[in-house]
Chains A and B, each alone.
Chain A
């Protein structure tokens, strides 16, 4: 009983880690809490689902379309809405992204229908993998594998590629980075693009089996990237991954033992990420791996 739960948790956690990662990357480079992140996920998922439904299209095209769509929207938001607000307070910009999220999610929900769902024609469908007594949806395995690959690729890119180094430099020491000729605006745009791409991939796996497809509540699932990122520490890449995994595993385990935990109420598994977040914040107001504020006046 435990192993499928843990596997499921890892799979879900990997998806949350992808989401939290994109969110943290933007926070590290812009300082902005991007409340439109769930919208990026929904846009990516929507495009993937729509394009994949077209007859005869290879799924990879649909995936690419979704990733590009989300990346494009992220870039537009950064370039035309966030950048003009440069120098303003971070809370102001974050609230602005709430406005963006409202508009984007309203439009997508309008297209799906308040009670509707948009299925995706992914290559895994409802098929399962069998290993001895274990039965596990293929899409969940794919989620874990793809997310792990993407995260690894991202970490390697961050560590070794010149743009990755530039991004880290700007996050760690903006003045020196600027002195070394790294254009902050380009790096920031790159961060937002990455956030869109990661959100789209995560979005795909939130709408595959066992989910019926993209639904209005998918946005709420995307919101769980926020507690994941906070648990890890808003400015920590490693923290985002850890936070995502923690949230995914906790949610999966609690859902698995729902019968035993029924006294906590039905559906308590969707509250668990927030409960864990509040518990962590009580003890570590900056998250597990976040930088503690060292004030300079």
Chain B
């Protein structure tokens, strides 16, 4: 069963075709990576799925429900959560408050949050390694921890599909390995399907079940890591750059 189906998606702005007839699917429980050279359309794809852009044609569906054309908050209600490449936290608020924001659609009413929600936030904070940081203002945290808050907030929405936007950006080898472990743990314990955009090929090859390759807005390969690695078109796209693997 496909959690996410992208069907013939085309996005244009300012005279540029950012995505051209892209089609692929994310299977339940998979860690699915999107890779490609800069400008390939990866961020555009994420922004369409989040509801920030409207496509010129084509569609994206989540478990059969069409999400293109809906407002971002409605997409969140369909069980889609994402992290942001440039961290989008509320720096003046505590980690706990930032995490609770991710639970917005699940919390009812004006009263101060139920014990339940705060307990769940505590659990997720522990899961991503921030249990001791709940009261710290998010802006005061080091970069790596802020990325954890991003991830935690997305998880607090209890999503079915998690979009990770360059989760290892700006990290060294040790931090990247930790991120990889965390992503695997998310899939293992929560069973969430994960779609990630990433440049770090080591990370991608290490954890992805399937890889989709974009180049200039066009899908040039889609399959298991080994197939993609051997694909001639993919190698050509990366020609001139050191083949990342």
Check A-B contact in the complex, CB < 8 A. yes
Contact residues of A with B, CB < 8 Å? 294-297
* A295, B54: Cα distance in complex, Å: 11
8 further interface pairs, Cβ-Cβ under 8 Å (given A295-B52, A297-B84): A294-B13, A294-B53, A295-B53, A296-B43, A296-B47, A296-B52, A297-B52, A297-B86
* A296, B48: Cα distance in complex, Å: 11
- Which residues of chain B are near A296, meaning CB under 8 Å? 43, 47, 52
- Which residues of chain B are near A295, meaning CB under 8 Å? 47, 52-53
Interface residues of B, CB < 8 Å — how many?
Answer: 10
| B88 interface hit (Cβ, 8 Å) | yes
Binding site of B, secondary structure by majority: helix, strand, loop or mixed? loop
Complex: chain A residue closest to B44, CB-CB: A296
Binding site of A, secondary structure by majority: helix, strand, loop or mixed? loop
Contact residues of B with A, CB < 8 Å? 13, 43, 47, 50, 52-53, 84-86, 88
Q: How far is the CB of A99 from chain B (nearest CB, A)?
A: 24
- Which residues of chain A are near B84, meaning CB under 8 Å? 297
* A297, B50: Cα distance in complex, Å: 10
- Which residues of chain A are near B52, meaning CB under 8 Å? 295-297
* A295, B85: Cα distance in complex, Å: 14
Q: How far is the CB of B55 from chain A (nearest CB, A)?
A: 13
The 6 closest A-B pairs by CB, nearest first: A295-B52, A297-B84, A297-B52, A294-B13, A297-B47, A297-B88
Q: How far is the CB of A11 from chain B (nearest CB, A)?
A: 38
* A296, B86: Cα distance in complex, Å: 11
Complex: chain A residue closest to B86, CB-CB: A297
- Which residues of chain B are near A297, meaning CB under 8 Å? 47, 50, 52, 84-86, 88
- Which residues of chain A are near B85, meaning CB under 8 Å? 297
* A295, B46: Cα distance in complex, Å: 12
Complex: chain B residue closest to A295, CB-CB: B52
